[in-house]
Structure 1
């Protein structure tokens, strides 16, 4: 007997398969090095047990803002929100199926217009309204752990909501995770973007990880 999953069940399974930090996560401090075309900058970072974060020991405001944004990105993707909290006001239906087996999930309800793709119990594509833009994120490399999956390679592009035309070039991310103290921690992020036809590389190194 073959059991057929609904669109919501398929998406929920992939959502709950994401790697997140558990309630015992103690928080940690780290050294951060930002390297971009403007130079190299160092800072101290702390992510607390409640996933609040701080950046210190850096004077350059632009670099501090960039590093702060990275800590926000780290925490927002490791927080363990329930499916009901994140998607309880949405409805789900099937869209197209790709040649590689990825299944499109169309969202209705509060998130109407958003869509995802699920492939091998992972969310491989996100198309979502954020403010006055639409962001499209395509994941092409994942790390499967015994506690869920992590995206290691992905690209993103922002679109005009009315015309669906790109607002800029594509940005490509390559992340490196290490298991430290029982938790998977981001230790390196390399970002390649386009600016005036040129490739711009920005790298964040997170080292000297010490749990609180």
Structure 2
């Protein structure tokens, strides 16, 4: 029981140390430039106070959907969630400690088969199985915002959960700036390796402005 409680406390401390937007988050708008190979697309984006997202000015539907998906990922990581609501029903146990000092947190009861590694007060690895796809995210660098940490350099490996075969590898480099009282992503570079092909995609956000609160 002591180990169980300790594992829960370790994970909770790291979970609650993630940087998230508070209830006063007003949303923001920005210009976006997306580069992939020789192709360049420009448009505008909004993340609203209710965390819905909008993409305008990009006519290519596939590219527009890619930007929309990226914005939804940003929201997922910045959205504040109560620990008990998200993980209260799960059981946690401490696993092995690796050579870097990261400790395994093994989870029972999670619908996505999630397991984690914790280093200090940061989640440095997430491992999940979702249907026919398994993936592991390893954080290499993080940024301390003073209000929690954000991952700024991380790798993702996708595998076939039955065979263990590597399907796709991705490397992410994220940059953030403080706008008003909120940290927002200003650049993301993704290097993707799939079937021997390496593709680099770059999202650049400029002219970032917090949205004005709606007058009641």
> TM-score, normalised to structure 2's length?
0.92
Q: Tell me whether 195-204 or 80-89 shows the greater mean CA deviation.
A: 195-204
User: How many residues were matched structurally?
Assistant: 208
Q: Which digits, 9 at most, give the CA deviation of each residue in 1:63-120, with x for residues without a partner?
A: 1011111111110100000111211221100111011210000010234742100001
Q: Tell me whether 49-58 or 82-91 shows the greater mean CA deviation.
A: 82-91
Contact preservation (8 Å) 2:167, 2:195: no
- Distance in 2 of aligned mates of 1:176 and 1:110: 31
Alpha carbons of structure 1 residues 196 and 113: separation in structure 2 relative to 1, 3 Å? closer
- Distance in 1 of aligned mates of 2:30 and 2:92: 40
- Distance in 2 of aligned mates of 1:161 and 1:196: 18
Q: CA deviation at 1:163?
A: 2.4
Q: Tell me whether 155-164 or 77-86 shows the greater mean CA deviation.
A: 155-164
- Distance in 1 of aligned mates of 2:111 and 2:8: 13
- Distance in 2 of aligned mates of 1:199 and 1:112: 29
Instruction: Report the secondary structure of 2:167's partner residue.
Output: coil
Instruction: Report the secondary structure of 1:189's partner residue.
Output: strand
Q: Quick check: 1:193 aligned with 2:209?
A: no
| RMSD, aligned α-carbons | 1.5
Show the 5 A alignment for 1:55-134: 55-111=55-111, 113-134=113-134
- Distance in 2 of aligned mates of 1:204 and 1:186: 10
Which consecutive residues of structure 1, in runs of 5 or more, have no partner in the other structure?
Answer: none
Contact preservation (8 Å) 1:90, 1:110: yes
Q: CA deviation at 1:38?
A: 5.2
Q: CA deviation at 1:158?
A: 1.1
Match of 2:178 in 1: 179
Instruction: Report the secondary structure of 1:162's partner residue.
Output: coil
Which consecutive residues of structure 2, in runs of 5 or more, have no partner in the other structure?
Answer: 212-216
- Distance in 2 of aligned mates of 1:27 and 1:131: 33
Match of 2:214 in 1: none
Contact preservation (8 Å) 1:37, 1:200: yes
- Distance in 2 of aligned mates of 1:123 and 1:73: 17
